[in-house]
Amino acid sequence: MTDLDKFEGMNPPEFDLISRKIHDLLRDHARFIELVNSLSGFLPEYELLMEYLKENNIVFQKDDIDEKISPEILTLESNPVLMRRILERISEQFYLSMRGLEKLDEALSHSRNLFEKKFFLERNFHNS
């Protein structure tokens, strides 16, 4: 029975507390993902502006661009692609971490049920 000593102090209320904290974190992660996804809504406007600048030869005539600002101006075209990749990676990474927390919560729920069964059997044993 010494193997069970490592679980001493673990009980359903502690599992509930941990589970509530996990749910709070999952809720915060979901809000974060919503914010990240809302950022991608700005990219079409950005792309339209870049297209307008190109079509009207406002900025993208390389001969007319000062050498100091040339690299910054030229990266304007690649920004939407880069931002989409970054936002997709962030969303994917947070989804994976959320999935891990969900699995942990499931395991805690299962453990909580096992502890409740253990306590029930102990009470029945002591009462008999």
Whole-structure pTM value: 0.57
Do 18 and 108 form a contact (C-beta atoms < 8 A)? yes
The strand ranges marked E within 10-89 are: none
Specify whether the backbone of 9 is left (phi greater than 0), alpha (psi in -120 to 50) or beta.
left
Question: Quick check: 116 and 16 in contact, CB under 8 A?
Answer: no
pLDDT tens-place string over residues 48-105? 887 887 787 766 555 555 555 556 666 666 778 888 888 889 888 888 888 888 888 8
CA atoms of 109 and 102, how far apart (whole Å) = 11
